[in-house]
Amino acid sequence: MPYTPIVATLGYVLSPDRRKVLMIHRNARPDDQHLGKYNGLGGKMEPGEDIAACMRREIHEEAGIECESMHLRGTLNWPGFGKQGEDWLGFIFVIDSFSGEPYTQNPEGTLEWIDIDRLMELPMWEGDRHFLPLVFDRDPRPFHGVMPYKDGRMQSWAFTRL
């Protein structure tokens, strides 16, 4: 059977001094699978767009800013992550230059600038604690990981860097 994951982006917008990252506190919708958690910005790729265009569109929709420079930091395969056990394939970006003033909130929650050094103190998906250090480290090589989920819980984590 062919593997047909939902393809998505996840972006981390850095402040101009590169010490903070724009995160969304998912606190607006009671039916949100991510309710109460902090997350990067992003979402599903649409037909007819490439993955970079998807990232730019999602950042604009969710934060109201335009990406001027961004870098692919890695890919993540999340089998079983969706509400109904759907598989997700994510492309993880760092946005290190943008124009405009970010929103303070959107329909999914509050947007907050968080010190990168404090990220691990936030409520987030268990699995995010494993890959976020790879997003912000100084290794220029992208990572490629797999993180199976079952019933909303991470089962394992493995990655390679090339």
State the amino acid at position 99 in one-letter form.
S
Residue at 1 is within a domain: no
pLDDT at 39: 96
Does pLDDT of 162 surpass 90?
A: no
pLDDT at 30: 84
Task: Give the pLDDT confidence of 16-28 residue by residue, as tens digits.
Answer: 999 999 999 999 8
Please state the rounded mean pLDDT for residues 109-135: 96
The answer to whether 95 and 11 are in contact (CB under 8 A) is yes
Residue at 71 is within a domain: yes
Q: Distances from the Cα of 132 to the Cαs of 4, 56, 83, 88, 143, in angstroms?
A: 25, 20, 22, 17, 11
Please state the rounded mean pLDDT for residues 137-160: 96
Q: Which of 61, 53, 45, 42 is nearest to 106 (CA)?
A: 61
State the amino acid at position 35 in one-letter form.
L
User: Residue 75's domain spans which residues?
Assistant: 6-161
Residue at 119 is within a domain: yes
CATH code, domain with 41 = 3.90.79.10
Domain count, the chain: 1
pLDDT at 154: 95
Please state the rounded mean pLDDT for residues 83-109: 96
Per-residue tokens: 107 = 């329909």
Residue at 134 is within a domain: yes
CA dist., res. 62 & res. 8, Å (int): 14
Which of the pair, 35 or 122, is modelled with greater confidence? Answer: 122
Residue at 99 is within a domain: yes
Q: Distances from the Cα of 33 to the Cαs of 38, 39, 97, 153, 157, in angstroms?
A: 12, 12, 30, 12, 21
pTM: 0.95
Residue at 142 is within a domain: yes
Task: Give the pLDDT confidence of 35-94 residue by residue, as tens digits.
Answer: 899 999 999 999 999 999 999 999 999 999 999 999 999 999 999 998 889 999 999 999
